[in-house]
Amino acid sequence: WNVNKFCVGFEMVYSLNDHHFVTWEHTRVMLMFLRCLQFSYSSGLIQRAGG
């Protein structure tokens, strides 16, 4: 459930941008959502995906 919320948040912020560039402020918020996604999974799954 949290994974879906973080994905929707990322996509909403991404949709606010122009298609040619992303502002620094939006980039920081998008990175925050990606970090939240990382912590919403178990650490073993992330380690296996990372190699």
- In this predicted model, what pLDDT tens digit does every residue of 14-49 receive, in sequence order? 998 887 888 899 999 999 999 988 888 765 555 555
pLDDT at 17: 81
Structure tokens at 40: 């919403």
pLDDT-derived band at 12, boundaries 50, 70, 90: very high
Q: Where are the domains of the chain?
A: 2-50
Residue 20: φ, ψ to 5°: -100, -20
> What is the largest distance, in Å, between two alpha-carbon atoms of the chain?
36
